A = this chain, B = another copy of it.
């Protein structure tokens, strides 16, 4: 990565309006009097704010206003002169200290502007512009002589703001009882939401009005190995909404570092969301030391749904890459000895004879193998042969290490050692075999959420990877957290996930952490964090299925914070074909699965299905082989949450383009102009589409492949079925 230190140049032309309402006209004052929404225990006031200041985005469509009213801080967000966020309270409830909610005076403000362009190590685009105007409001609480700053950054596609705690004798440490940031909605918007939960994000999305969340919450909660809901009107971020007048609004956070993840809890009569941080084992929500700051709270807004997907706001609000050398970080296309275990065809465990195992005591050379262990030498070699033959970079092997016999659900501390292979997995030979064929094995570290145990073995585990030539690890946090009482998304574990990423970087190891906290753009700062799960992935198609339109929502929500290891590529949807005992069915068409390699941006893309399933459809498999995993440019051609997404991307350093579509519960017709192609070149397109008779449930493998000469003047018309999609490769004719 080319590291560009952000250059803050304060242009005097920045569009900012500051006003003391006692002295100056204040445009939002009348509006505020109607909209002001203080803490719910307080009736909305009617007095004018004592202070307000508005800052607008460079393009002027978006603005944020800070207000101080009766000593209480508020903010609003506007888009094209429409209110997006009504006056919303800000501040903190603290433990063992007076709250930071009221009694404030404004001591000063700072206005500035910023415009630079940076190059990500990997990403949807090879360069990213970071262009915003900034407003820093300096508050003081005279009764306690404590200072709290609030920094706003206003972009053309939304607003980020955060709390900053300056170093001060009166508040060196802060124990957060609750962050009290409101997001006051202006109407009963349609939302695509998953239930608020301290331990899992692996839920299907529910589309409903905000006011319906409470009624539909219970049905939205499905089983997970670790889950802790806390309020029936709570949702997770990123939350995508749409207003009745066609505004798309997205709430999330950026740069979640050493802080608890934020949920949003709705008062469904006032339609005000209130921040609800993830607690620790004692119910406390944060331990901070000044100088420090909260993550950015983000409000993205546009009247074009595609802007939600195009936005770089979350990445831009994160700090630049901290690594000097990033040459070792590379996008990866991979297969895995994995789907056969997920479907139940084979097992992670080596034996089925023991009620429990104890690492270092259980002698695996003396137990009876169950005969179904997936990660055995012969099977792994078969996968290596296939993956190498078809040009994959890596092969993930799960279940290679001892401990899987009783790995989950027992709150077991010393569950894995991350270094000892099962007797039938020859780590040395298999790595050499893979390397000889030009691919790498991908490491797997399931931690069973025993975080201390993982940290104790982390260096030895990374050393083993160094020794055998692994450069990427998929880690997992299935089950309840140890230390017990902590949650997946609390400060303690968020600190852990980042620790593992930073330690991995010292070994030039890339990390793809499953069941970790939802990403918030930290991959900009730590680009060896090449992936996360943090949502309901493809695996659920082998565990009862996911909603048909799931992948038309994920890019609006989960992917806002960073790439997802979604693991697309199912070619056999009737899971009983793999394991007769598994009656699950994937609610997708084969063409849909191809389209996801383009619509679901990730530098880490898996071909999830079994080699033998790909061998049944070699023509369709060709797309997976061809599609790139790193890009110069990305375009969102069509998008509507829950309905469809069509993306086009130019492969890095080439003139090859790939287009993908995913379609929700309704059939869709895409009309696509290829005007993004080089007007001076001719191309050949290969189009992988749903066949007319395709049906995600009864006929998912019905697809067509057609070839077509195209150029920048071509318009394509493509029809998809529910749960369907299409994929197109477009390459210049030589």
Nearest-neighbor residue (CB-CB) of A485 within chain B:
B281
Nearest-neighbor residue (CB-CB) of A258 within chain B:
B413
**What CA separation (Å) do A325 and B495 show in the bound complex?**
39
Nearest-neighbor residue (CB-CB) of A495 within chain B:
B413
**What CA separation (Å) do A284 and B482 show in the bound complex?**
13
Contact B412 A289 (CB under 8 A): yes
Selecting from A78-86, A108-116, A169-177, A302-310, the interface stretch reads A169-177
Which of A169, A173, A280, A484 counts the most chain B CB atoms within 10 A? A484
Contact B173 A410 (CB under 8 A): yes
Q: Please give the distance in Å from A627's CB to the nearest CB on chain B.
A: 40
A393 contacts chain B at the CB level, 8 A cutoff:
no
**What CA separation (Å) do A452 and B491 show in the bound complex?**
13
Please give, as numbers and ranges, the residues of chain B lying within 8 Å of A282 by CB-CB distance.
281, 484-485
Q: Please give the distance in Å from A606's CB to the nearest CB on chain B.
A: 31
How would residues 162 to 196 of chain A score, 1 for a CB under 8 Å from any chain B CB and 0 otherwise?
Answer: 00000111001101000000000000000000000
Contact A499 B406 (CB under 8 A): no
Contact B172 A485 (CB under 8 A): no
Of the candidates B167, B452, B485, the one whose C-beta lies within 8 Å of that of A485 is: B485
A601 contacts chain B at the CB level, 8 A cutoff:
no
Contact B169 A355 (CB under 8 A): yes
**What CA separation (Å) do A333 and B168 show in the bound complex?**
44
How would residues 392 to 416 of chain A score, 1 for a CB under 8 Å from any chain B CB and 0 otherwise?
Answer: 0000000000000010001111000
A459 contacts chain B at the CB level, 8 A cutoff:
yes
**What CA separation (Å) do A411 and B95 show in the bound complex?**
13
Please give, as numbers and ranges, the residues of chain B lying within 8 Å of A287 by CB-CB distance.
411-413, 484
Nearest-neighbor residue (CB-CB) of A503 within chain B:
B456
Nearest-neighbor residue (CB-CB) of A456 within chain B:
B455
Please give, as numbers and ranges, the residues of chain B lying within 8 Å of A173 by CB-CB distance.
356, 410-412
Please give, as numbers and ranges, the residues of chain B lying within 8 Å of A412 by CB-CB distance.
173, 287, 289
Nearest-neighbor residue (CB-CB) of A492 within chain B:
B483
Within 8 A of B (CB), among A431-474: 452, 455-456, 459
How would residues 350 to 363 of chain A score, 1 for a CB under 8 Å from any chain B CB and 0 otherwise?
Answer: 00000110100000
Nearest-neighbor residue (CB-CB) of A460 within chain B:
B459
A167 and B356 in contact, given A173-B411, A456-B455 (Cβ under 8 angstroms): yes
Q: Please give the distance in Å from A17's CB to the nearest CB on chain B.
A: 36
**What CA separation (Å) do A410 and B287 show in the bound complex?**
9
Q: Please give the distance in Å from A482's CB to the nearest CB on chain B.
A: 9
Please give, as numbers and ranges, the residues of chain B lying within 8 Å of A410 by CB-CB distance.
172-173, 289
A367 contacts chain B at the CB level, 8 A cutoff:
no
Contact B281 A484 (CB under 8 A): yes
**What CA separation (Å) do A471 and B463 show in the bound complex?**
26
Please give, as numbers and ranges, the residues of chain B lying within 8 Å of A167 by CB-CB distance.
355-356
Q: Please give the distance in Å from A481's CB to the nearest CB on chain B.
A: 10
Please give, as numbers and ranges, the residues of chain B lying within 8 Å of A280 by CB-CB distance.
484-485
Contact B355 A499 (CB under 8 A): no
Nearest-neighbor residue (CB-CB) of A481 within chain B:
B483
Please give, as numbers and ranges, the residues of chain B lying within 8 Å of A290 by CB-CB distance.
355-356
**What CA separation (Å) do A412 and B411 show in the bound complex?**
27
**What CA separation (Å) do A287 and B173 show in the bound complex?**
34
**What CA separation (Å) do A499 and B455 show in the bound complex?**
13
Please give, as numbers and ranges, the residues of chain B lying within 8 Å of A485 by CB-CB distance.
280-282, 485
How would residues 654 to 687 of chain A score, 1 for a CB under 8 Å from any chain B CB and 0 otherwise?
Answer: 0000000000000000000000000000000000
A202 contacts chain B at the CB level, 8 A cutoff:
no
**What CA separation (Å) do A42 and B248 show in the bound complex?**
65
**What CA separation (Å) do A102 and B228 show in the bound complex?**
34
A486 contacts chain B at the CB level, 8 A cutoff:
yes
**What CA separation (Å) do A483 and B287 show in the bound complex?**
12
**What CA separation (Å) do A244 and B378 show in the bound complex?**
75
A499 and B172 in contact, given A287-B411, A356-B290, A485-B485 (Cβ under 8 angstroms): no
**What CA separation (Å) do A499 and B287 show in the bound complex?**
26
**What CA separation (Å) do A495 and B282 show in the bound complex?**
21
How would residues 266 to 304 of chain A score, 1 for a CB under 8 Å from any chain B CB and 0 otherwise?
Answer: 000000000000001110100101100000000000000
Of the candidates B284, B355, B413, B455, the one whose C-beta lies within 8 Å of that of A484 is: B284
Nearest-neighbor residue (CB-CB) of A290 within chain B:
B356
Contact B175 A411 (CB under 8 A): yes
Nearest-neighbor residue (CB-CB) of A491 within chain B:
B413
Q: Please give the distance in Å from A543's CB to the nearest CB on chain B.
A: 24
Q: Please give the distance in Å from A6's CB to the nearest CB on chain B.
A: 19
Of the candidates B356, B456, B483, the one whose C-beta lies within 8 Å of that of A499 is: B456
Q: Please give the distance in Å from A125's CB to the nearest CB on chain B.
A: 33
Please give, as numbers and ranges, the residues of chain B lying within 8 Å of A456 by CB-CB distance.
455, 499
Q: Please give the distance in Å from A550's CB to the nearest CB on chain B.
A: 33
Please give, as numbers and ranges, the residues of chain B lying within 8 Å of A484 by CB-CB distance.
280-282, 284, 287, 492
**What CA separation (Å) do A613 and B634 show in the bound complex?**
77
Q: Please give the distance in Å from A442's CB to the nearest CB on chain B.
A: 26
**What CA separation (Å) do A168 and B411 show in the bound complex?**
18
Please give, as numbers and ranges, the residues of chain B lying within 8 Å of A495 by CB-CB distance.
413
Please give, as numbers and ranges, the residues of chain B lying within 8 Å of A168 by CB-CB distance.
355
**What CA separation (Å) do A175 and B289 show in the bound complex?**
36
**What CA separation (Å) do A459 and B483 show in the bound complex?**
21
Please give, as numbers and ranges, the residues of chain B lying within 8 Å of A486 by CB-CB distance.
281, 483
**What CA separation (Å) do A231 and B413 show in the bound complex?**
30
Nearest-neighbor residue (CB-CB) of A412 within chain B:
B289
Please give, as numbers and ranges, the residues of chain B lying within 8 Å of A358 by CB-CB distance.
289
A172 and B483 in contact, given A455-B452, A459-B459, A495-B413 (Cβ under 8 angstroms): no
**What CA separation (Å) do A173 and B486 show in the bound complex?**
21
Q: Please give the distance in Å from A501's CB to the nearest CB on chain B.
A: 14
Chain A residues at the B interface, C-beta cutoff of 8 Å: 167-169, 172-173, 175, 280-282, 284, 287, 289-290, 355-356, 358, 406, 410-413, 452, 455-456, 459, 483-486, 492, 495, 499
13 sampled A-B residue pairs with Cβ under 8 A: A169-B355, A172-B356, A173-B410, A280-B484, A287-B411, A287-B413, A290-B355, A413-B495, A452-B452, A455-B456, A456-B499, A459-B459, A485-B485
Which 7 residue pairs spanning A and B have beta carbons closest together? A281-B281, A281-B485, A483-B483, A172-B356, A172-B355, A282-B485, A173-B410
8 A-B pairs besides A287-B411, A289-B412 with CB distance below 8 A are A169-B355, A172-B406, A175-B411, A280-B485, A281-B281, A452-B452, A452-B455, A484-B492
